[in-house]
Every structure is written in C-alpha cells, then in structure tokens.
Amino acid sequence: MRLTKQTSHAIRILIDCARQSDRPVKIGEIAARLDITQQNAFKIVHVLTHGGFLIATRGRHGGVRLARPADDIRIGDVVRATEVTHIEVDGEQPASSRRKSKVQPINSLLDSALVAFVAVLDQHTLADMARTSTATAAGRLDIAGDKPASRGRVARRKTAPSAAKALRL
C-alpha cells in the first residue's frame, strides 16, 4: 500500500510537535521547517486536531502541540485518521446476490490486507518515530521510498515498497 502525501505530512508534523515537547508551535514555523505550504499545513493540522492528536490554541502566543504524550500516539491511528481504510473494488456484487462459494471476494481480501498493514503500523508510536528519525532532522520524510526526498522533488520507485520499507521514515 502506498500512503498519500497528506499522511506523510501529518506524521512529519506530529514528529515536529513531539520534538518541541510541550511548547506550542506556530503552523508557519512547522511549514517552513518541513518545507510544505502553509495552506497544506493548516489543512492537515485541522485533520489532526479533529482526530485528537493535536491541540490548537489561537492568538498571539498560540500554536499547536500534542494532545497526548507521544508514547500514546500510534502511527496506525494517524494513518486511520488520514487515509481511506476501506477498499472497495467496482463491480463486486453485494453479499446478498452472490452465490455461496469458497472463494473469498476481492473486497474482503483487500480489507484483510489493509487491516494487517495498519496492524504493523500500530506497533510503532510517535515517540519511536521522533527518536529514530534523527537522520531526517531536516524534516524531509519519504514514506514511499528508502531515502529522504531531495528538496522540491518527489522520490519515485519503480516497484511498490514492502511494508517494512514503507515504515522507514
């Protein structure tokens, strides 16, 4: 499974907030450090706030900070909040009109694979990511590839990454 840029940005924003401890961080600072647009940062912070990952405070001395300790935030929960976690293939017949067969429908297979993928992500916390991502301290995080993306360019792979490589942040 390939995760979207929005999920990559969401994880990077949460890692940045985790590194700032309890100090509120301005969204403009986060956007500059992570090299993303302020508009995208605001949109993603909104999703993370509604997901219960961040607390936003308005005003001159406001900003965003983690809503709970980084050890309590599972990466799988972030993916569930930012990605579609149900797959449906067009043309699949509803269960009521299918004949009983021993072959599992494709939607069910894909849902099972997605559950397994997210279960692996649930084994990792935001604190783990904040500690181990010192190699990407510049803020560049490429969920889809093996190495940090270069500035202004998207890292591309010819083949789909394995789940283990997808976790390398």
DSSP 133-146: GGGGTTS---TTSS
- Residue 34: C-alpha distances to residues 37, 61, 109 (Å): 9, 21, 36
Q: How far apart are CA 45 and CA 65, in angstroms?
A: 10
pLDDT of residue 151: 45
Q: How far apart are CA 30 and CA 14, in angstroms?
A: 10
pLDDT of residue 65: 94
Question: In the chain, what are the domains?
Answer: 5-167 (1.10.10.10)
Beta-strand runs (E) in the chain: 54-57, 63-66
pLDDT tens, per residue, the chain with 169 residues: 688 999 999 999 999 999 987 889 999 999 999 999 999 999 999 999 999 999 999 988 889 999 999 999 999 999 999 987 666 666 655 555 555 544 457 778 888 888 899 999 999 999 999 988 654 554 454 554 444 444 444 444 444 444 444 444 4
pLDDT of residue 112: 86
Owner of token pair 């067009």: 90
Rounded to 5 degrees, what angle do the CA atoms 115, 145, 80 make? 30
Owner of token pair 């043309």: 91
Q: Among 12, 84, 85, 83, which residue's Cα sits nearest to residue 54? A: 12
What sign for the dihedral angle of Cα 43, 26, 128, 134?
positive
